[in-house]
């Protein structure tokens, strides 16, 4: 069942409530390293994940999904073809340009996929800079730039795609043509768990089924900040944190999102 219920702006509280009610089918064409963690994160959040990345099926499945994630972490030939199919289905989708810049295959694919106008681009600062042509990329999947360094690059990508760009960092930036939001909070332990950022992109894709792109990116970033803080407060390291983080995604209540994390929004004129 396709669930695309809202074109009106919503608060993170309203968006999470809508996601829990709809349990949207979310297609993930994603990094082979993170499929299990991503699927579990979506299930904990209240969405319904499907890792459908086979050419000949991916485009069909995208047509019935509420949102689609295209993550370039391990872009095999089959995944590249599946991504090309999925982004033409008309379903709102997220591009996660993992490690673009120095690596030629994924970089070329990321630029090709930009023409299909992703609703959201989510990446770290070095990835966003490289995708916008303003940098050479980071150190593999690790950023070597701050989120604020990528603000102008993010704005240029919103102009090109007409969508939203989410830059992950110590303070996350959510940018569209007219607004910039900053989400503070969260735990650094997220960076020690494989799949923390990739699953964030999947959460944004699931939220695209129930709320506009800017609100979907903002809501997912706030959820990640709150859940990671709570998980970190009761764990001792990466292993227990990963389990606790999934628990906190499941336990988080919509009302929690307006209380724990500060969101600053500025209007671009």
Three state DSSP letters for the chain: CCCCCCCCCCCHHHHHHHHHHHCCEEEEECCCCCHHHHHHHHHHHCCEEECCCCCCCHHHHHHHCCEEEEECCCCCHHHHHHHHHHCCCCCCEEEECCCCCCCHHHHHHHHHHHCCCCCEEEEEHHHHHHHCCCCCCCECCECCCCCHHHHHHHHHHHHHHCCEEEEECCCEEEECCCEEEEECCCCHHHHHCCCHHHHHHHHHHHHCCCCCHHHHHHHHHHHHHHHHHHHHCCCCCHHHHHHHHHHHHHHCCHHHHHCCCCEEEEECC
Q: Is 195 annotated as a binding residue?
A: yes
Q: Is 122 annotated as a binding residue?
A: yes
Q: Is 51 annotated as a binding residue?
A: yes
Q: Is 134 annotated as a binding residue?
A: no
Binding residue numbers: 51, 122, 168, 195
Binding residue numbers for ATP: 122, 168
Binding residue numbers for substrate: 51, 195
């Amino acid at each position: 069942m396709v669930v695309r219920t809202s074109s009106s702006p919503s608060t993170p509280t309203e968006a999470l409530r809508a996601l829990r009610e709809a349990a949207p089918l979310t297609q993930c064409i994603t990094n082979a390293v993170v499929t299990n963690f991503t699927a579990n994160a979506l299930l904990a959040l209240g969405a319904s994940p499907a890792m459908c990345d086979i050419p000949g099926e991916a485009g069909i499945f995208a047509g019935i999904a509420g949102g689609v994630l295209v993550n370039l972490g391990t872009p095999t030939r089959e995944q590249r073809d599946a991504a090309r199919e999925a982004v033409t289905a008309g379903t709102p989708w997220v591009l996660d340009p993992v490690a673009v810049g120095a690596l030629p295959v994924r970089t070329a694919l990321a630029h090709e996929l930009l023409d299909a106008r992703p609703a959201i681009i989510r990446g770290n600062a070095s990835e966003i800079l490289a995708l916008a042509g303003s940098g050479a990329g980071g150190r593999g999947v690790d950023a070597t730039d701050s989120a604020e360094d990528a603000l102008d690059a993010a704005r240029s990508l919103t102009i090109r795609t007409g969508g939203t760009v989410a830059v992950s960092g110590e303070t996350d930036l959510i940018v569209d043509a007219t607004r910039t939001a900053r989400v503070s909070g969260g735990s650094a332990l997220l960076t020690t768990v494989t799949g923390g950022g990739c699953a964030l992109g999947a959460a944004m894709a699931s939220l695209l089924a129930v709320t506009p792109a800017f609100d979907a990116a903002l809501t997912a970033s706030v959820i990640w900040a709150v859940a990671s803080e709570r998980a970190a407060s009761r764990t001792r390291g990466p292993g227990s944190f990963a389990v606790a983080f999934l628990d906190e995604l499941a336990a988080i209540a919509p009302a929690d999102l307006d209380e724990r994390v500060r969101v600053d929004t500025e209007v671009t004129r």
